[in-house]
Amino acid sequence: MKEFFRRFGRGFLRNLKTIIQALIFSVIIWFFISIQIFPDVSMHIEGVDVACAATPFMNEENLIITKVNVDKVTIQIEGKRYSINELNADNFKAKCDMSKVFDAGTHTVPIEVEVLNDIECKVTSTDLTAEVTVIKMISREIKVIPNTSEINIASEMQIEGDVTVYPDFVIVTGEERYINSIDHAEAFADVAGELEQSADIPAHIVCLTSSGREVSTDMYTADTDDFTVSVPVYKLKTLPVQVKFTGTSGTWGFNADELEYMMSINEITIASPDSSIDNLDVFDIGEISLSKLTLKDLQGGVQLPVELPEGYKNISGNKYITVTFPQADDFGQLGFTVPADNFTMINVPSAYSVKLLTNEITVSVVGYSDYIQEMTPSDIYATINLLGMELSEGTKSLSVTFRIKGANVRAWVSGEEYKVELLITNAEDTDA
């Protein structure tokens, strides 16, 4: 047995060259035979990149691809052994067929594979698919309202009037389901500390659903982030109300202090945009002129409008205050014809001569009934004051002021403006 292996070894070494040549020849023969008998082969290519792009229709409808569950695929190909043996993933292009996608959602779409560079081979993979998530993007105009929950107002101050925001709308863009869930936006003022006066404050918005749930800012974009909240802050004060009577003259007229009256409100609350209201201790509703106060006014009351300085607010809300007179039933009104002899002219310029052309004027006298019933026209006097008047020759109409003589006068002359006619000439002409 040992002799057999020894002989075999010596023979193998002597014929080694011939054996190698025979082996090479056998491989070549096998290669050519395999090509002729098995010309086409199949193989797998791994790592082919998958592209996914929206169609023109999707672009028009704002349908956006947000997720694809595969980015590479393995494909199977067939072809001539000598043609495909050296192929790899770079020789192929795969893409998702989105032609049947018409709305938002998750779609299973086929993957199409293209052979590049005119290589002769066939892709035999037929079940390649991808899960593609598509959303619809929309834009909506959303109402913005101010939110005052984080605004602190200094003591003695308060918000009066409407807090506003500018702009009062915003255009938000995002996925349809999120944008449609937004009911409105609220603007929160970015302010620290207490407000002591009206202010325009930069603000940021928060989008909310109808139930008040906040919509994350990751779900939308806004066309602007520049918002301003305007807060009208006022200082309030409650003041006593008073009314003044004019047209009285001590000894020569009715003493208004004796006229008892009441007001529909005795105090009023007002607000100012600054501290100027601190200078007020009383609110003057206005003046009532006795020369215009008639018996009808005494019986029905006088209505005075509440007028405030510019920028002030009427917190009480009273537009008018009515002054009434509890003793109105004790008063009466009579007419008296006052003769020219009871008229006096004062401050007549020396350069002119002035003659009264009016012979008499009938006036209305209002006062306590028992008092005016005892009066006569001689109790009424009129004054024509020419001080400061620009005079020229001719006739001129001037106002006249009436008084009732005596002490403790309990009546006054009332009515519209009374006037007299005067004849004015140069003093030199009169002397001549």
pLDDT digits (tens, 9 = 90+) for 41-90: 888 999 999 999 999 999 999 999 999 999 999 999 998 877 788 899 99
Residue (of 106, 101, 180) closest to 138 by Cα position: 180
**What tokens appear for 412 in the block?**
């006054």
Question: What distance in Å separates the CA atoms of residue 298 and residue 110, rounded to the nearest whole number?
Answer: 97
Question: What distance in Å separates the CA atoms of residue 101 and residue 89, rounded to the nearest whole number?
Answer: 28
How buried is residue 298: exposed, middle or buried, by Cβ count under 10 Å (0-12/13-18/19+)? Answer: buried
Quick one: pLDDT at residue 345?
92
Contact indicator for 152, 194 with CB cutoff of 8 Å: yes
Distance of CA 67 to the CA centre of its chain: 40
Quick one: pLDDT at residue 10?
65
In the predicted model, is pLDDT for residue 37 greater than 50?
no
**What tokens appear for 312 in the block?**
């002030």
Quick one: pLDDT at residue 189?
92
Q: In what order do the strands lie in the sheet with 343-346?
A: 343-346, 380-385, 401-404
φ, ψ of residue 254 to 5 degrees: the values are -70, 140
Quick one: pLDDT at residue 276?
86
β-bridge pairing 380-385 and 233-246: unpaired
β-bridge pairing 283-289 and 233-246: parallel
In the predicted model, is pLDDT for residue 311 greater than 90?
no
Quick one: pLDDT at residue 251?
47
Q: Which H helix or E strand runs over 33?
A: helix 16-37
Quick one: pLDDT at residue 6?
66
Worst-scoring range by mean pLDDT, 23-32, 42-51, 64-73, 108-117?
23-32
Quick one: pLDDT at residue 38?
52
Give me the percent of the chain exceeding a pLDDT of 90: 63
